[in-house]
Amino acid sequence: MNGRQLQIRKMLDSAGEVHLQDLRRIFTDVSEMTLRRDLSMLENEGYAIRTHGGAVSTSKFIQSDGQENEYSKRAREDMPAKTKIAAKAIRFIEKGRSIYLDAGSTVMSLAKLIEGDGCTFITSAVNTSMELSATAHSVVQLGGAVNKNTLSCSGPDALLMMDSINVDIAIMSASGFSIERGFTVSNRYEGLLKQKVMGKAKKCIMLMARSKIDKDLPFTFASLDEIDYWVCDEMPDEELIAKGKEYNVVII
């Protein structure tokens, strides 16, 4: 960590957040791209979580009992894999489309890369809608009960709202996958919402790291043959690649 990055970290610790426009005024001898790389490095090191206009200190996610909440823990895990998946998945953001962005820290990494206007985004994730609303995007936030571990809304209200929404592209996430059980999550209502979204979408893209393969959670919401693309940080084993080809699933 160089001197500038250390100074930015101290600013984060002191204020709880930093804004890119302020950093540009302070560090006039470096480019905005360099400052963005500094923030990315601090995120990868676990000191910050990137936002559209800067970064937030992870200390803001510490609960009153001194424990870090579950979402911020997951957001800090395996950042290189999430960044790699997001960079691969940005190609699926097609102008003029109605795009559903699922909850989860991997999809949030993708949301941070989205620029410009021309899409309508639907999401159950409160943090994702805030990220996209910072730009000129048209954003639809689903209602319902908020899960503090995923920062997503689900339940009967979210399901009812989805009845009247058309989806061209669904960009989904999962907590686990196995050939036997399919894509799984730990929350039943979130699983039901994922099922509803995928059933309405013309194209389904799954974002999930290889580390979650052969990990089963209580609720299955989709099988391999229900998706069109799987964006992974590293290619899975030959058995899964062969199974994907059998179902015409493109694994990237």
CATH label, 75-251, candidates 3.50.50.60, 3.40.50.620, 3.30.930.10, 3.40.50.1360:
3.40.50.1360
Beta strand 138-141 with 120-123: parallel, antiparallel or unpaired? Answer: parallel
Instruction: Write out pLDDT tens, residues 38-84.
Output: 988 888 777 887 877 788 887 665 444 444 455 555 555 667 888 89
pTM: 0.75
Distance CA 94, CA 120 (A): 10
User: By three-state DSSP, how is residue 165 classified?
Assistant: coil
Phi-psi region of 153 (alpha: psi -120 to 50; beta: other; left: phi over 0): beta
Say if CB 30 and CB 37 are below 8 A apart.
Answer: no
| Segments making up each domain of the chain, as ranges | 3-61, 75-251
Where does residue 121 rank: exposed (0-12), middle (13-18), buried (19+ CB within 10 A)? buried
pLDDT for position 64:
44
Contact residues for 86 (Cβ-Cβ < 8 A; gap 6+): 106, 109, 110, 112, 113, 207
CATH architecture, range 3-61: Orthogonal Bundle (1.10)
How far is it, in rounded angstroms, from Cα 85 to Cα 208? 8
146/126 Cα distance (integer angstroms): 8
Q: CB-hemisphere CA count at 13 Å for 216?
A: 8
Helix axes 32-44, 79-89, angle to 10 degrees: 130
- The list of the chain residues with pLDDT below 70 reads 59-78, 136
DSSP-derived 3-state class of residue 35: helix
